[in-house]
Structure formats: C-alpha cells, structure tokens
Structure 1
Amino acid sequence: MYSREELKQLKVEFWEGFAAYCEVQPYLHGRKKMWRLYDTKVKGVELKFDANRQGAYVILEVNHSKEESRLEMFEKLTWYKESLEKGMEELIWDICFVRESGEQVARVYTAHEGIDIHRRTHWGDFYRFMATQMYQLEKNFLAIADYLRD
C-alpha cells in the first residue's frame, strides 16, 4: 500500500510521463495547446482524462448545473452520435453519471479497463490509449462544436 504522500508522488510522475509521451507523438506535433480539455468553447462541456486503479478513461462531460440544460446538451450530442463515434473505440453514453462528489453529469466516454495506475508496467497502455482516443474524440468534437453552441 502507498501512503498518501507516495500516492500523490505516483500521480505526479504518471501525469508528467503522459505529458512527455504526448510530446514525442508525431500526430500531436504542431499543436498550440496539447489538449483542449476545459477550453471547448461550448458552455458546460469539457473533455477529460481519468486514470485510476480500474483503468483509463477519455471523457466528454456535460456538466451544466441545471438538469434541463444538461439533458438538452446531451440530446444535441446524440444527434451527432455517428460523427462523435467516428474512429473511436466503443463510446459509452451515460445520461446520468454520478461523480464521487454526488454531482450528476452526463458523459460520453471510452474506457480501457483492466489496467492499474499503481502498476508502472501498465503506464504505456494508459498513455497509448489516452493519447490516441483523446486525439480522435477532440477532433470529432471540434467538427460538431459550432452546432452545439448556443
């Protein structure tokens, strides 16, 4: 088991390693910003990574505080389902995902489960999956983003 401080250091090393991995990927060269993430320019929509003991996740999250707005945006995304799924591994559409904090959000995500962030030998699998899948999800999202803006 890791102490709290050791876990913190492990996560820092993991994300630093991921950044270094991304810097040398040819398909990511020439980008002003490595990942768009919170800067989607669509209100209440963010792109996210998650890496934990269960696996790696690449996420498009709709987190409007108003349920009505959240559901409306999720519905808009379903209109463009084919475009979002182009070139992706299987996307999971979850209209009511509950975060650990108890907050409800809507998510469209892909997962590579069965790998553990605590095992450094799995990090290469995390990095490959997260970089390729976020690259494709971001590209697909940007192709439809103008249609999603209010």
Structure 2
Amino acid sequence: MYARDEVKKTKQAFWTAYGQYMRVVPFADAERQSWVNYKTGIKHIYFRMEADNQSAQIAIEIDHPDAGIRALIFDQFVQYKNMLQEALGESWEWLPVSTDAYGKESAEIKCVLTDVSIMRKDDWPKLISFFKPRMIALDEFWSSAKYAFEVFI
C-alpha cells in the first residue's frame, strides 16, 4: 500500500510529465489551453483523464444536475456518435447513467485501460500512449462538434 503523500506526489509528477510531453502538440483550434485540464467551454461537459494503481480511463463526462437536461446532452452526443468514433478510431463505452463513488449521477462516454498503475513509473509510457491519441482525437472532434452543444451553455 502506498502512503497518501506518495500517491499525491506520484500523480502530480505524472500529470506534470504528461502536460510537458503534450505541450508541443497543437490544438485543433487556435485556442490555447491545457491538455491536462481540457476546457470544453460548455458547463457540465468535461473531458476527464484518470489513472490509479489499477487502471486508466479517459471519458467525456456529462454531470448536469438535472437528469432530463443531462439526458438531452447525452442524446446530442449520440447524434454525433459516428463522427466521434471516426475521430477516435475506436468504439467507447456509452453510459447514459453512471454513479460515482459518492452517489453523484452523470452520463459518460469512456475508454478504460486495465492492468496499469500510475504508481509504477514503468507504466507511464503506456499511460501516455493511451491518453495522448485519444485526447488529440477528442480535441479534433470537439473543434467541429462543440457548436451543436452551445445551446446547453
């Protein structure tokens, strides 16, 4: 088991390294932002990357507190599913209702990589190779699709 401080420092070191690695990658739009904390510009729609001691995940998360509006936003993504899958080059898991560890409901479109640990520096290249192409593809997709979601601002 890892100490809390060790986990925090290791995660911070990984995300810093990932951010530095991605710094040279241009965004699809001229807008400058962070690859680690990607801003979609639409409230309640997030591109999230997570890694722990067992797996890594990249997801489009919709966390609007109103379940009806959350479903509308998810349905809008369903309308763009082919475009998203074409940009990603793969199929992701589509969850219209998901509940986190704290009981908060959201909707997710995600891809998971198992058998990796952010705590093992030997796994960092696998993690970066997992996150990098998918974030670039999400950015490419979002540069075209985001206008269809502006109604939810």
The two structures share one fold, judged by TM-score above 0.5? yes
CA distance in 1, matches of 2:36, 2:145: 15
Q: What one-letter code is carried by the residue in structure 2 that aligns with 1:63?
A: D
1:34-83 CA deviation, whole Å, 9 max, x = no partner?
A: 33855312232111111112322111111100001001110111011001
CA distance in 2, matches of 1:105, 1:90: 20
Which runs of 5 or more structure 2 residues have no equivalent in the other structure?
A: none
Partner of 1:43: helix, strand, or coil?
Answer: coil
Identity in percent: 23
RMSD between aligned residues: 2.1
Contact 2:15 2:36 in 1 (8 A): no
Give matches, 1:1-150, under 5 Å: 1-25=1-25, 32-35=32-35, 37=37, 39-88=39-88, 89-150=90-151
Which runs of 5 or more structure 1 residues have no equivalent in the other structure?
A: none
Contact 2:54 2:115 in 1 (8 A): yes
Contact 2:117 2:123 in 1 (8 A): yes
Contact 2:19 2:36 in 1 (8 A): no
CA distance in 1, matches of 2:78, 2:101: 25
Deviation at 1:121, TM superposition (A): 0.4
Contact 2:49 2:59 in 1 (8 A): yes
TM-score (norm 2): 0.87
CA distance in 2, matches of 1:143, 1:37: 19
41 and 20 in structure 1: CA distance in 2 versus 1, 3 angstrom threshold: closer
Contact 2:56 2:114 in 1 (8 A): yes
Partner of 1:86: helix, strand, or coil?
Answer: helix
CA distance in 1, matches of 2:13, 2:39: 24
TM-score (norm 1): 0.88
Q: What one-letter code is carried by the residue in structure 1 that aligns with 2:116?
A: I
129 and 28 in structure 1: CA distance in 2 versus 1, 3 angstrom threshold: farther
Partner of 1:109: helix, strand, or coil?
Answer: strand
Q: What one-letter code is carried by the residue in structure 2 that aligns with 1:75?
A: D
